[in-house]
Amino acid sequence: MQLLEGALRTYAWGSRTAIAELCGRPVPSNHPEAEVWLGAHPADPARLLGGADPVSLLEAVDADPAGQLGDRARAEFGDRLPFLLKLLAAEEPLSLQAHPSAIQAKEGFQREEAAGIPLDSPVRNYRDDSHKPELVVALTRFEVLAGFRDPHRTIELLMALEVPALDHYIALLAGQPDSSGLRALFTTWITLPPPALEALLPQILEGCVRYLSGGPGSRAYTAELRTVLGLGESYPGDAGVLASLLLNRITLQPGEGLYVAAGNLHAYLHGLAVEVMANSDNVLRGGLTPKHVDVPELLRVLDFEPLTGPVLTPSAVPGAATVVYETPAPEFALTRVDLDRSGDRHPASVEFELAGPRILLCTSGSVTLRSGGKTLDLEQGGAAWIAASDPELVAVARTSTAQVFSAAVG
Residue ranges in the chain modelled with pLDDT below 70: 215-218, 317-318
- Domain assignment of residue 67, yes or no: no
Residue 269 sits in the same domain as residue 187: yes
* Separation CA 82–CA 79 (nearest Å): 9
Residue 170 lies in a domain: yes
Whether residue 204 lies inside any domain: the answer is yes
Tell me the per-residue pLDDT of 369-379, one tens digit each, with 9 for 90 and over.
999 889 999 99
State in Å, rounded, how far the first CA of the chain is from the last one. Answer: 20
Distance CA 374, CA 368 (A): 10
Residue 279 counted as domain residue: yes
Q: Are residues 377 and 353 in the same domain?
A: yes
pLDDT tens, position by position, 126-147: 988 889 999 999 999 999 999 9
| 390: DSSP letter | S
174 lies in some domain: yes
The verdict on 250 and 114 lying in the same domain is yes
* Same domain as 286, residue 369: no
The reported pLDDT for the residue numbered 218 is: 63
Alpha helices in 91-166, H assignment, sequence order: 102-114, 151-160
pLDDT at residue 216 in the model: 58
Does one domain contain both 292 and 346?
A: no
Q: Are 284 and 298 in contact (CB under 8 A)?
A: yes
Number of domains in the chain: 2
pLDDT digits (tens, 9 = 90+) for 290-344: 888 999 999 999 999 999 888 988 877 667 789 999 999 999 999 999 999 887 7
Which CATH number fits the domain that encloses residue 390?
A: 2.60.120.10
Residues 165, 224 within the same domain: yes
CA distances from 148 to 30, 224, 257 (A): 37, 13, 18
Among residues 47, 127, 285, 336, the one annotated as catalytic is 285
Q: How far apart are CA 350 and CA 408, in angstroms?
A: 16
136 and 199 belong to one structural domain? yes
200, 205, 208, 210 alpha-carbon torsion, rounded to 10°: -100
Which range marks the domain in which residue 254 is found?
Answer: 93-312
pTM (two decimals): 0.94
Pair 218, 109 in one domain: yes
- On whether the CB atoms of residues 50 and 2 are closer than 8 A, the answer is yes
Residue of 285, 277, 281 whose CA lies nearest to 43: 281
285 is a catalytic site residue: yes
